[in-house]
Structures are given as structure tokens and as C-alpha cells.
Amino acid sequence: MPGLEEAFQRIGEALERQLPLTHAPGVALAVTDGDETLGAAVRGLANVDRGTPVTPTTRFQIASMSKSFAGLVAVQEAVAGRLDLAASINDVIAWLELPEPFGPVTVHHLLTHTAGLASGSDLAPWGIADVVQLRNEPPVWAPGTRAHYSNAGWKLVGMALEHVTGTPIAPLLTERVLGPLGMTDSEAWLHDVQRTDAATGYMPVRTDRPAHLEQPLGPGIWQTSVTADGSIVSTVVDMCAYLRAVLARGAPLVDDDGFARWVGPHEDAEDAGERYGYGWVVHEVDGHRTIRHTGTNIGFNGLMAVRPDQGLGLVVLLNGWGERTAVARYAFDVVAAAIGGEPLPEVPAIAAADEVADADTYEGTFVGHGRRVVLRREGTGVLLEAGPVGVRLEHLGDLLIAPHPSLELYPLITERDASGQVVALGHGPSRYVRDGHEPAAVDDPSRHTEPLNAWSTIEGAYRGESPWVPLVRVYARGGRLFALYPVYGEEEELYPLDDGSFALTTSDGPERLRFDQVVDGRAQRLTHSGAAWFRSFES
């Protein structure tokens, strides 16, 4: 088709611009219509040490994009009358003994992340440990009333499918989905052989601090897995075959009514404007109804999406972490323009890591802990000055970091007034207030404000066996308690509960952190969803 070759050349150029701003050495992207794969663009390396380039047939872990595959089989079983999606999961899996303090937790609730369950630790290859741990962490609200993303819940979905079909989840997904769609380069489990014939996943080598672009990458820890929540390895070509089934409203895998049950959407998702089906998020993007799901595994990241009104599906896979949404949106637009015979949109400019769109709102002097921090606009970015140190801030997702050895342990958290002006900065346990300004007190009654030394027993760094979260930092700031997950650059608030545990992120959510094994007034162990981290010597 005239124009398509140029469209994919432009997509490749967009990938070239984007890749240096990610923590990934390679990327592959492909677009399909309802009949065939229209093209692919690939850049970078599948394995750095061997110099192996990414190709359209390079295999990547697709992570949570695997959920919709199991969701499809659940619909098939429901249509056949072998699985009641409204049944309690305890009636489906007799040995489970999941507490149900607010009523039955149904298969539908698990499929839509509305069971009120914790996410889980993702430690065990078959997920049994996560599932058994749920006995100790029952739902915290009535199932079906709220959404909270739970990998452990989807592990239960896979076990339910194994029970009703009598077939383990990997051969079941192969028989029901991969095989019929001709996805011959895909597998429904992660195993050691793939370490030599699939892309190597990469992570920043410093696990004790948020990553900036000057930090080197190293191979991520390989984790074998055969669960329904994220164990498929595939290629962009194979994934296009899968997306064609979505464009065909489920054919040949399920009929039209089954497709409606599969995609839904059924329930509101956690993010505003998004609704969840059975392994699908449905929302509007750039004026188009979009059916999509993302996926993140250790050293892998990706996105698949379908726009039914344009008759297009797209998948982008990286062997590392980084932005995936902007290039996907451009790929949809440029391919649609090529098909429609319209002028192709230009390759979008990619903002540098140190560009700050609202740089003016940061300017000022901030004081705290006997220290002055000055933020100045410098061109399109923000310069931070603290004593002899001067460094331009760098984006890390929605956060900013200061890539300097004395400052990079913590992200920079901003507090803003009603006009959008930055009035205070959080930097780990330190808080700096704009000179001459005191922000209004926190008015959220769910937040517990305490004296600065109230949590000295538990503050510190903890390392553990989770390959997902090698280190957790816990600290108080401004009378509130936080947990920092440095490898993700995520700071989450902790809320003390009456039983001595702490709720994570929201005061009424299902995630629980516990601290125990106190020696000399300091907790030695942190536990979350059955995983444990132990106090480290690190500050």
C-alpha cells in the first residue's frame, strides 16, 4: 500500500528518538489491520553482550498482557457452562479457604480486579505461595465495589481454569489460543531455555536509588513462571495475530456474545476514565475507543492496543523499561494516515530527560533542615543548587530526580498550591518549604500525622528476596510515613492501622506492610504479601 513504507520508516525514526530516553537496549513495534500485519519497526539490541539485534521475530516477555489470554479461556468455559463466573472462587477451588468477610469473591471479581485482594508478591513459579498467603490477607471491602490491581487474583483465575478443564494453564492457553491463531513463536510459560533464544531483559544496575539515564544497565534477574497473570513470551508478529482476533470480535476463538463478555468493559478501573474487562482496559484515547493492556516484568515492558474504529491493532515490546504510550499513539496516527491516503504526520519531537514543561513553577528558594535549596529555570529545564552542587533535574515518569551522587537516593516530590506553584519539596525524609511560605496543613482525615521520631523503630533500608523489589526505604517526612521503592522511583504513603500494620498507598486499601523482629529498638524485618525484606546496613 502506498505510504505504508514511509509510515514505518517514520515509526522507526520515532523509536530511534525514544530509545535513548528509556532504560532498555531494544524495542520492537508492529501494526496490523484485520487481515495481516502491515509492518514492523525494530531498533536496538536483544542482547547487548552478544550484539544481537532486535528483529520482528525476537521473543519478549509480554507480562500482564497475558491476562487477556486467560480471560478469553474463562469466557469460553463460561459459554460452555463449565465455569460459573458468578460462583465463589472457594466453590471452584475447594482447598482454597479464602476468607470472604464481605460476601463471596467470585471469578468475575477476580477477572476485573474488584475482589479487594492484595497484589501479591510474585515470588513463586506456580503462584501457590501467593494464593495461600491470601488466607492471611482477606478482602478489605465488599467485592465488586472498588478496583485494586491484583496479580494474585489472576493466579487464582488460572487455577480455576486448570480445575474445570483438567489441563495445566500453559498447555491450556496453547491449545485454546496460541495454537488456533498460529502463534508458533509464542509460549505460555517462562523457562530457562528462553534465556538463550529470547531477548534478555535489562534493568538499571543500581537498585538502591531511582534510575537516571547515566546509570548503566545490566541483565535483570530471570524468573521462571507458569501462571495466568503474566507468563507468556511472544513476538510482535505473533501478537499481531492475536490482535486480529480482537479486531474480528473474537473470531475464531469465541462468538460475538462471548467477545462482548471478554472485552466488556464491566467495572471501573483504578485510573479515572478507564474501565476493565477480562484482561482488557477500555477507554478513549485521542478520540478513539481503545482496547488495550500493558505489561511489565523484570527487565521487560510493553503495550498492546486495538482501535476498532480504525480497524488497527498495535503492539510495542521493550527489553527494559521506558515510555511506550507516546510512540504507540504516533504509530496509530501515521499508519491510519497512510491507509487513508492522507499526509503523514511528522515524527514527533521527543522531550529530553531534563526538559520540564512547567519549569517556571519550580523557581524559588526552599529552606529546611538547616539547608537552602534553590531551583532556577535554565532554558527548558530546572537547575537545582544546594551548596556547591548544581545539577539539572531529570524526569523519571511523573517524578523528578537530581542525577548527582549526593542527591540521587530519593526522587524530588513537589507540593503545589492552588495556582500550581511549587511551595514545598520532599526529598526522602527531608522537606523544604518555599522561603516565606508555609503550605496549608494536610486536610485529609485519613492521614495520620505524627511527631518526626514516632516511627524511628521502623525507619531504614530493607533488602529482600523479591526480584521485583530488591530494596525498600522507609522514612518519615512532615509527620507522615513513606515507603520508597527505588528501582521504580515510586514513593508510597504508609498509614498506621490499629493492628500495628500499615496500609500502603491508601488508608483503606488491601496492601499491608508489617514490621517485626525488633532488636535494640529497630525492626529487622518488613513483610508484604508473604515476602520479606531485612534491615540493611545502608543508610
Give dist(CA 20, CA 407) in Å, integer: 23
pLDDT (tens digit, 0 to 9) for every residue of the chain, 539 residues total? 669 999 999 999 999 999 999 999 999 999 999 999 999 999 999 999 999 999 999 999 999 999 999 999 999 999 999 999 999 999 999 999 999 999 999 999 999 999 999 999 888 787 888 899 999 999 999 999 999 999 999 999 999 999 999 999 999 999 999 999 999 999 999 999 999 999 999 999 999 999 988 889 999 998 899 999 999 999 999 999 999 999 999 999 999 999 999 999 999 999 889 999 999 999 999 999 999 999 999 999 999 999 999 999 999 999 999 888 999 999 999 999 999 999 999 999 888 889 988 899 999 999 998 889 999 999 999 999 999 999 999 987 778 899 999 999 999 999 999 999 999 999 999 999 999 887 554 444 445 555 556 799 999 999 998 889 999 999 999 889 999 999 888 999 999 999 999 999 899 999 999 999 999 999 999 999 989 999 999 87
In-domain check, residue 375: yes
Q: How many domains does the chain have?
A: 2
Nearest to 178 by CA among 42, 62, 298: 62
Three-state DSSP state, 376? strand
Please name the helix (run of DSSP H) or strand (run of DSSP E) that holds residue 110, with its range, or none.
Answer: helix 107-111
CB 382 within 8 A of CB 359: yes
Q: Give the HSE-up count for residue 118: Cα atoms under 13 Å, Cβ half-sphere.
A: 23
C-beta neighbour count of 267 within 10 angstroms:
18
Question: What pLDDT score does 451 carry?
Answer: 56
Please indicate, yes or no, whether residues 412 and 466 belong to a single structural domain of this protein. Answer: no
Question: Do both 470 and 527 map to the same domain?
Answer: yes
| 283, part of any domain | no
Grid cell, residue 346, equals 511528522
Q: Which residues of 459-471 are buried (b: 16+ CB within 10 A; e: fewer)?
A: bbbbbbebbbbbb
For the purposes of burial, counting CB atoms within 10 Å of the CB of 71, is it exposed (0-12), middle (13-18) or buried (19 or more)? buried
pLDDT at residue 274, rounded to an integer:
94
HSE-up (13 A, CA, CB side) for residue 79: 16
Does 379 share its domain with 414? Answer: yes
- What CATH number does residue 426 fall under? 2.40.128.50
Q: Do residues 364 and 408 both lie within one domain? A: yes
CB neighbour list of residue 86: distance below 8 Å, 6 or more residues apart: 106, 107, 108
Compute CA distances 457 → 60, 274, 309, 475, 520, whole Å.
43, 40, 56, 10, 9
CA distance 363 to 383: 9
Do residue 483 and residue 418 come from a single domain? no
- Residues 129, 22: Cα–Cα separation, whole Å: 33
Residues 412 and 469 in one domain: no
CB atoms within 10 A of CB 346: 11
Residues 416 and 473 in one domain: no
Judge whether 418 lies within some domain: yes
Flag whether 295 is in a domain. Answer: no
Positive or negative, the Cα torsion across 13, 14, 19, 24? negative
Alpha carbons 372 and 452: distance in angstroms, whole number: 20
Under 8 Å between Cβ of 235 and 338: no
**Is the peptide bond between 265 and the residue preceding it cis, with omega within 30 degrees of 0?**
yes
Whether 418 and 485 share a structural domain: no
Residue at a domain's end among 399, 434, 469: 434
Is 224 a domain residue?
no
The CA–CA distances, whole Å, from 476 to 430, 452, 463, 516 equal: 9, 6, 19, 18
Cis (ω within 30 of 0) for the bond into 411? no
**Are 465 and 504 within one domain?**
yes
User: Residue 250 domain-assigned?
Assistant: no
430 and 465 belong to one structural domain: no
Task: Choose one of 434, 451, 474: the last residue of a domain.
Answer: 434
What pLDDT is recorded for position 436? Answer: 83
Say if residue 467 is in the same domain as residue 529. Answer: yes
Pairing mode, strands 275-276 and 202-204:
unpaired
Compute the residue count for the chain: 539
Q: What angle, 0 to 180 degrees and rounded to 10, lies between the N-to-C axes of helices 4-18 and 325-339?
A: 170
Q: Which range of residues forms the domain containing residue 422?
A: 359-434
Do the beta carbons of residue 276 and residue 112 sit within 8 Å?
Answer: yes
Of 419, 434, 449, the position where a domain reaches its end is 434
Q: Classify 488 as helix, strand or coil.
A: coil
Residue 91 lies in a domain: no
511 domain residue, yes or no: yes
